[in-house]
Structure 1
Amino acid sequence: MTFKCTIARIAGKLALFIVKLGKGMGRSFPGYLFLKVGGLDCLKELSKRSKIGNILITGTNGKTTTTKMLCLLLKKDSSVSCNFDSNTINAVATGLLRKESDLGVFEYGIRTSKYSIPDTVCEYVDPIGVIYTTISREHLMVAGEKNPFREYFKAKRLLSAPMKKGVIICNADDPRTAYIGMEKEKDVQVAYYGLEVGLEDETPLSAPVHCPRCGKKLEYSKRYLNHRGIYKCNCGFSRPEPNVKITRISKEDKKWKIEIASETYNYTSQKRISSKFKLKVPNFGIHNIYNFLCASTAYITLTPNPENIKETMKKTAQELEKFSLPPGRFEIFKLDDKTVGIGQGDNGDALKANLQFHPSHELTLIYTTPDKGEDEIFQDHLRVIRSAQPMKVHVFPGRESISAAEKYYKIIKGYFDSSFHPISNEHIDKKIDEILKVIKEASTKSIIVSGCGPEHLLWARLKSKFESTL
């Protein structure tokens, strides 16, 4: 290691110690300081602290939950350095600074090629695994610039584009992630995961889905969750066969009883391995079943101890009872005789998953809007809201622009009994108090609070304050 990299590492370690004494920046500041002093060449050196290698997890939805689940699995039979709930190269460097380990597992959020530099991150972190959860439209405005979906999709693809070794793990049921895997099959091993069960999502799509190869509209013979399912296109593009799949799923004793069948390549042994096991997991929504299947596929593919797979999977499934969801994620609460769901849903896919939780037809929706210039996300949201048919919709600004929120409210008002609450994020406590007041005064048994908004500032604080009233 060069003198510059040694100094950078000392600075990063010192920052790790300092952030333990205060609040905030703990997942990113040490890495920021390390990179400021040492630069990207030193990140390449730092990446070697993971003896087997590093794993990067990206996608639109499910990144944090999948990262946490994968760390839970891998820690059973190897030493792991994890960093999640922070989506920058600084956070990856922070995770690497913490300790030497067998494997580094890092969430990596990507919005644009310009700001996220995904191909550069891949080049310098040199991952042995890149994992894709699912890809949907989100964040159409980034740093005041328009971010078309094609550019967003391209940026996701770039995270694995430089790879010449290791494994890419893709959701076979998502045509966009599957396409990324198919592009890279010539360079590296690709493991696909998916469902092969009797479930079916019969509600309308939250957004049109076009073939990532030719651009024509995809045909679905089955949809499991929004755009995830079994699909094909006239150009020949179709869903690949999953290497790891859930073949049975049923409800039993308020849990999901699932059967996973696996026939896939294991990176550390460089062998193909087969396994099949039955598990009981908590009564997750289908989106979290996908997250668990994604994490399981990554574990089976990348564990240095493949002989432990069956035992580790069973142990971890039992531990999921105590699994804590990330701060902004959707959770269900009981308030007297009401069921209240609260959490982020900042794209059509996520909002649709959240709205599927409401147990009765009489629903009050508290909807937090996208921003100015994010009309496509609003249209995705509107399709989902119209499908759910709430009795009452309360509209709050979710991001910065109150005028954009008012424009979206006027459209919603044309379909539903609605009210507008123009409270900005500058007055976040007032906004939270107003949302809690709406929940308390709602006449329906089901209330959902979801949409766009800052994860910690709005969703974590709202859930915390709501729980204190229970």
Structure 2
Amino acid sequence: MSKTVKYRLSKLMGKFTYNLFKILPTGGKSYPGYVFLKYAGINHLSDLADDQLQNGSILITGTNGKTTTTTMIIDLLSNDTNISKSVDNNTVYALTTSLLSKKSNIGVFEYGIRDIKHGQPDKVQKYLKPNGVIYTNISREHTQVLGVKNSFNDYIKAKTLLSQEMKDGLAVVNADDPNTCYIGQNKENDLHVIYYGICTEHVKDIFVPETIQCPSCGKTLKYTHNYVNQRGIYFCDCGFSRNKPDVCLTNFKIDENNMNLSVEGNVYNYTVKKDVSFNVSFKLPLFGVYNVYNVLASITAYSCFTPLPENIEVNVENYFNSLDFTILPPGRFEIFEIPGKIIGIGQGDNGDALKVNSTFMKDIISENNFEFIYCTPDEHEEEIFEDHLNTLKQLNPSKITVVPGRVSVKAAENYFNQIKLLNTNVEFSAIDYNFEKRITGIMDLIEKSEYKYIIVTGCGEEQVVWNQIKNRLKEKY
């Protein structure tokens, strides 16, 4: 059987499986892609991409903000061209399913790599041949995958491999994040690298900066300004430093109901093969500063790949001026009221996210008298706990209630014992690993709390725990 016939039959089987599985609640997200790759082989991923995508694809990766950024890029590009899309995706099978779903001008795919073995970033890059890779940020998270612990250096390497062998196309990187900026600097001789970042002192981290290692030499980076966590203006004695952004947040002001932003950019548009400039101003709901980076990444990617660059300013302003909280994935951090209480609740499963959630909530707490219901990482996730602990130490809540966030109750109790050394008013609620028990248990803690302000964040399942708690509280009150 020739490779051509084998490929065509595999494609037919994959498409048949896709159409069959569309009736399922998950839409058969991964299995059709698995069927195609099982019989065709991953080397035929390039043939499938060539058949289904007229102008190639864009991959979005990073630690935080992937899903929101991908959704924004999809929404913006859909105004100008026909796209294939995939969000909340971290396997080559789900990506392949998206390719099987339809023919289009360009593919926009989230690709949340956790490790090299399961994410196969080098193979995805080799056979998919993306025209663009968009990096949000890279911070400590996902150190354990399917019971196997991976180092942070391995995690960075997995993200790097997605663009490492690219010799054509475009990389969009966060200039304010040292790890992604370093990836960009190492690709400047191979392709166009576009940097985005904050260029106003109106954004400043309220926490004491952490010690961040230089990605080039391993020494401690020096910062002249911290925007959010490790993102800021930095340099190292070895010569490594932050690149000047091509797309800049030039104005940032918060009023009672909105965040008001101005963004200026001068980028290379890969689709039309020329430089384009833009200057936009718009308002956003009170999403929190971290989502400003998602906005910058999406505007940068859109301006680099739209076939109609003359539409950039109008489309960007119209889109973001009409944006609301539905853009955020289910389970993400949100602030709302129930009788007598203001609650900030949602997933914060790495140090970066938990700190941002806390910052968002602290902006509205009128007094330093609040409870923190903290959902712990699992065993072998000590790095994540260390980052969480640093934030808890600086926040110094009036009360901390520790709840198991993942599987191990014993690990949660060990983390609780460490937190007790920092705060005298700490309690442990040993809720078993059962989704319904976790949901009702956390709701009970919220409702019985004597505090007006409550932060509820940490680790846990995004859809079946965090989103359920939020929805049930809203329905009840």
**Which TM class, normalised by the smaller chain length?**
over 0.9
Cα distance in structure 2, aligned partners of 1:154 and 1:397:
30
Letter in 2 for 1:5: Y
State the partner residue of 2:19.
Answer: 17
State the partner residue of 2:119.
Answer: 116
Structural mapping, 1:459-470, within 5 Å: 459-470=466-477
Alignment partner of 1:305 is 2:327: no
Alignment partner of 1:170 is 2:173: yes
Structure 1 residue 326: deviation in Å? 0.9
Structure 1 residue 143: deviation in Å? 2.0
Cα distance in structure 2, aligned partners of 1:266 and 1:173:
22
Q: Could you say what secondary structure the match of 1:55 adopts?
A: strand
Letter in 1 for 2:387: D
Structural mapping, 1:35-434, within 5 Å: 35-48=37-50, 49-198=52-201, 199-205=203-209, 207-252=210-255, 254-321=257-324, 323-358=326-361, 359-360=364-365, 361-416=368-423, 417-425=425-433, 427-434=434-441
Q: Could you say what secondary structure the match of 1:245 adopts?
A: strand
Runs of 4 or more, structure 1, over 3 Å off, are: none
Cα distance in structure 2, aligned partners of 1:327 and 1:202:
27
Cα distance in structure 1, aligned partners of 2:451 and 2:100:
50
Cα distance in structure 1, aligned partners of 2:91 and 2:345:
26
Q: Is the 8 A contact 2:287 2:325 kept in 1?
A: no
Structure 1 residue 136: deviation in Å? 0.5
Cα distance in structure 1, aligned partners of 2:56 and 2:48:
11
Cα distance in structure 1, aligned partners of 2:74 and 2:152:
30
Q: Percent identity?
A: 45
Q: Is the 8 A contact 1:202 1:223 kept in 2?
A: no
User: What is the TM-score normalised by the length of structure 2?
Assistant: 0.95
Against the structure 1 CA distance between its residues 245 and 434, is the aligned structure 2 distance closer, same or farther, given a 3 Å change threshold?
same
Q: Is the 8 A contact 2:285 2:325 kept in 1?
A: no
Could you give the per-residue CA deviations for residues 93-140 of structure 1, whole angstroms, max 9, x where no partner exists? 111111111110011011111221111111111100001001100122
Q: Is the 8 A contact 1:28 1:86 kept in 2?
A: no
Structure 1 residue 252: deviation in Å? 4.1
Could you give the per-residue CA deviations for residues 227-273 of structure 1, whole angstroms, max 9, x where no partner exists? 10100011111100100011111124621221111111110111111
Q: Is the 8 A contact 1:345 1:351 kept in 2?
A: yes
Letter in 2 for 1:41: N
Against the structure 1 CA distance between its residues 36 and 223, is the aligned structure 2 distance closer, same or farther, given a 3 Å change threshold?
same
| Alignment length (residue pairs) | 468
Gaps of 5+ in 2: none
After TM superposition, the structure 1 stretch with the greater mean CA deviation from structure 2, 362-371 or 180-189, is 362-371
Letter in 2 for 1:30: P
**RMSD (Å), alpha carbons:** 1.5
Letter in 1 for 2:446: I
Structure 1 residue 365: deviation in Å? 1.3
Structure 1 residue 468: deviation in Å? 2.2
Structure 1 residue 388: deviation in Å? 1.3
Structure 1 residue 5: deviation in Å? 2.1
Could you give the per-residue CA deviations for residues 144-197 of structure 1, whole angstroms, max 9, x where no partner exists? 222111111111111101111110000000010000000000101000000011
Against the structure 1 CA distance between its residues 465 and 239, is the aligned structure 2 distance closer, same or farther, given a 3 Å change threshold?
same
Cα distance in structure 1, aligned partners of 2:12 and 2:67:
28
Q: Could you say what secondary structure the match of 1:160 adopts?
A: helix
Letter in 2 for 1:380: D
Q: Is the 8 A contact 1:341 1:449 kept in 2?
A: yes
Structure 1 residue 423: deviation in Å? 2.1
State the partner residue of 2:451.
Answer: 444
